[in-house]
Amino acid sequence: QVQLQESGPGLVKPSETLSLSCTVSGGSISGYYWSWIRQPPGKGLEWIGYIYDSGSTNYNPSLKSRVTISVDMSKNQFSLKLSSVTAADTAVYYCARDGGVAGRLEGYFDYWGQGTLVTVSS
Amino acid sequence: SYVLTQPPSVSVAPGKTASITCEGNNIGSKSVHWYQQQPGQAPVLVISYDRDRPSGVPERFAGSNSWNTATLTISRVEAGDEADYYCQVWHSSSDHYVFGTGTKVTVL
């Protein structure tokens, strides 16, 4: 059974960079598309971006200038960096896997991490 | 950007049927996926490709998609169905995932 686990600081100061990692267990990170998704308290889901195991990425235009997603195949892990954060970036951050296999992108998420709350505050 | 609009809330009595709509421009030409999110938990896929139920999802959950509206229908609603529901599509023209605004289902 594939499991995803987010990790990283729960508190980030304004203007600094938010950094999170997602560790994948029970399966390989290779051959799949991996995404970050966030949910501000009491609000809806927002897709942040994805990465494929080759390192190719695609980001939500609303965040593109501040987002970097990277992958570390040796650790079966991928990461999110969001720069110049403000209070509006306070949210639960989820990592998730696209349902496609063998490099095919299916367009939905079949596995999610439990989520981690990141608060932006001084 | 592509926008998916859902009603903020739907109320339904136990045993009755709840219908949750998801409106988007020509959404009938896309595959729609639905997620259930219980309070404090991660979303869970309940419908993929408009109408396919993943293993373990009750037959009470059904989906449809046509023209500008996709619909998630929950039959014989139970108290445990009380949750937030999100529709989602893959917007191929921009290679982006797009989520709907979300609907809170309340079981009366």
Partner residue facing A108 (CB), from B1, B33, B94: B33
Contacts of A50 in chain B (CB under 8 A): 97
Residues A12-48: tens digit of each pLDDT: 999 999 999 999 999 999 999 999 999 999 999 999 9
Contacts of B31 in chain A (CB under 8 A): 107-108
The pLDDT value given to residue A54: 81
The pLDDT value given to residue A53: 82
C-alpha span between A91 and A40 (Å, rounded): 4
Residues A71-96: tens digit of each pLDDT: 999 999 999 999 999 999 999 999 99
Task: Inspect the interface and report whether the beta carbons of B99 and A109 lie closer than 8 Å.
Answer: no
Beta-carbon pairs below 8 A across chains A and B = 60
The H or E element that residue B69 is part of is strand B69-74
The pLDDT value given to residue A21: 98
Contacts of B96 in chain A (CB under 8 A): 47, 58, 60-61
CA dihedral A115, A79, A89, B41 (to 10 degrees): -10
> In angstroms, how far apart are the furthest CA atoms of chain B?
41
The pLDDT value given to residue A87: 97
C-alpha A44: how far from chain center: 16
